[in-house]
Structure 1
């Protein structure tokens, strides 16, 4: 059972998710021809021979083998839909909330060992379309108040993997996004203009701009949080990621894919997070952006981007195991001093 725990004093959240260590058995469940290893997909896209996109249905008894993109439950979910009751703790003014939510993955290609940065613009457009359609579907579910979209890319030497874009349906807006939203609203109130629009204007054709087209640009931020960090942002004011049209997506895919390839060639591994407004919060109207950070540790981007720390064992279990060693060490110290 996973749990969401808030810190004693600060607003960061820790997700205790014991299930994250599970690994698929019997082969890769995300490859073409391995449909029986995974549950039925929620979304299946196939590109027709006439160039038109077809959305297909999949069930337990009727699997789609010829597909170009799938969305299905992750094999080791950080969050589950199982109903759980909040558990009051003896810790003052804090409680443990159930880790209720959903954890899906977008499988952007049936090919094993192919990185997202190695895909085509058309495949990235298809992935963006899946994010948009499935994200809107998740927001219609009860208890889902934020959809976090996250991707991590291993360094180039690794080949035994399948590219997966993680989609988490969370019960609350993540702490880091909430903090940025508050700063955004404060800036808008004080200066009467969108701070991201100001950033786009200031960085245009400057030393930190990586590339741009008519609609989007990629920049290094003025104060990066790590050596390699890039933001992809709309150049004009855009607050609704889920309203992108197909031409918008193609324009975005060109800049995003170029930035991913550049990050892969310079930083090696990296992770990418989408900063969007919640469709459940009418007061949340941030100018959306996509953030890329150098690094390759599993789920490190969720911590850095969204402010959610992840551990795979409850602190009570770790404390129980460590307490034996601590008491043994104390006995050694005391006996040593006496001798």
Structure 2
């Protein structure tokens, strides 16, 4: 159980235990299912055959005769032969059973109310996210879209966050490929800041800042890869070495409204960029986040996108204490290296030698 505490002055929130527990496992920091240090396949709760080690599946995507079936576990049966599996985390960072306790400023806190679901991306324990097939990525994206739509119908869900911790250096305790979906009753500060900046830019310039950005970065020195519907590029001022973003080319604020054709194209983009990054950076750990617009009663929208942060360095006091970031890899050079690797990956995927 946790509570959401707000900084004395800043719009910064921290999830802290509301009991005497002092555990700081990677599972509790990043929301991954706690694995107790067990790495063999037989003990992995994400592996087929070990489904009873997790909460019941809220959604089990089963591929049968080329068709996708959306099933769920029941008291009498557990779905097997699944392609993607979703369940409530047993070590949630937020919960729908949070006690309704509040405190006033300057020591403000509120219940850490929300849903925390784990999306197991593949039944294959040894397959990493950068290695997954394009088809499997398509299945994962369909499931994420399903979850986003459902979660936004629930009470007290103001924002749905989706993120990946891949590798111990990125906060993951389980090596089995998976994603986390966590909801909040308020908009996270990073999204609020981005929405405010976007709103201000649109008022001053009459256009979407992301659409302008896409126009500038297309075919420029920071482009990493382009498909029919998406553009991947290293941002002008990246926080992390080799950081890159994936944007839909058309202006759209809601991931839940992208078409099946766009999902298929995004699956190709995800596989090519993550696969290329993995080879170029020698399987470096990374975080990946979906920046989506809130879909409830909010006029400040953002052009939705995905951001990928390879974890190659450790922040210093300058970054941690002042929010000034030192990046020793110029984004143009990063894009050159990533672009070469990602284009080779894409060529292999589409059968071009």
Q: TM-score w.r.t. structure 2 length?
A: 0.78
Task: Please state how far the C-alpha of 1:86 moved relative to its aligned partner.
Answer: 2.7
Larger radius of gyration: 1
| Conservation of the 8 A alpha-carbon contact between 2:97 and 2:113 | yes
Alignment partner, residue 160 of structure 2: 147
Task: Please state how far the C-alpha of 1:237 moved relative to its aligned partner.
Answer: 1.1
C-alpha distance in structure 2 between counterparts of 1:65 and 1:107, whole Å: 13
Alignment partner, residue 232 of structure 1: 246
The number of aligned residues is 295
2:137 counterpart of 1:136: no
Instruction: Report matched runs for 1:1-339 at 5 Å.
Output: 1-17=1-17, 20-21=27-28, 23-24=34-35, 27-49=43-65, 51-88=66-103, 92-154=105-167, 161-267=175-281, 268-295=284-311
| Conservation of the 8 A alpha-carbon contact between 1:276 and 1:289 | yes
C-alpha distance in structure 2 between counterparts of 1:64 and 1:186, whole Å: 48
RMSD between superposed Cα atoms in Å: 2.4
User: What 5-or-longer segments of structure 1 have no aligned partner?
Assistant: 298-303, 308-339
Task: Please state how far the C-alpha of 1:80 moved relative to its aligned partner.
Answer: 1.2
- 1:186-212 Cα deviation digits (max 9, x unpaired): 001110001101011101111100010
Helix, strand or coil at the partner of 2:8: coil
C-alpha distance in structure 1 between counterparts of 2:55 and 2:88, whole Å: 7
User: What 5-or-longer segments of structure 2 have no aligned partner?
Assistant: 37-41, 314-319, 324-353
Q: How has the CA–CA distance of structure 1 residues 230 and 194 changed in structure 2, closer, same or farther, with 3 Å as cutoff?
A: same
- 1:4-46 Cα deviation digits (max 9, x unpaired): 1111111111111457458346822211111211121111111
| Conservation of the 8 A alpha-carbon contact between 1:155 and 1:296 | no
Helix, strand or coil at the partner of 1:70: strand
Q: Which runs of 4+ in 1 moved over 4 A?
A: 17-22
| Conservation of the 8 A alpha-carbon contact between 1:113 and 1:160 | no
C-alpha distance in structure 2 between counterparts of 1:54 and 1:162, whole Å: 23
